[in-house]
Structure 1
Amino acid sequence: MAGLAAAHGRTPPQIVLRWHVQQGLVPIPKSSDPQRLRSNLHVSGFALSDAEMADLITLDRGEQAAVDSDEFGP
């Protein structure tokens, strides 16, 4: 992921957000950090190739790997 982000001059979170947008999904990023909020908005102006999109799909570890925020944390 870091290599892909560096190749596009973006951050890994921006790559993930762009991946969602290119699939026609509406990501809802959450942050209280003003700089991160601004960064999250800058996902236009570049596109991931079909090969990059396919590579990112292989990162999916399935539902069992997900953390339920209702059950984890303070």
Structure 2
Amino acid sequence: MAFQIKFHQIRAFVEVAREGSIRGASRALAVSQPALTKAIKRAGGGAFRQLFVRRSQGVALDRQWRKFLSTCEPDP
């Protein structure tokens, strides 16, 4: 099943992975935390639901999505 991901959803994903928290990513992107969470949850019709694993301090990228993250970031 194919799904569509919008640019702002990819941007949200990348920033949360970089920052390690919804709060830090929302500050970096200048959006509210609820808006950022909604963008991630709605990405790809819910395909991103298991993107992040909650930790005591923030979130960590789920193992299967680390490779996807590398395709989202520009080469140095």
- Normalised TM-score (structure 2): 0.40
Indicate the structure whose relative CO is greater, using CA pairs within 8 Å and at least 6 residues apart. Answer: 2
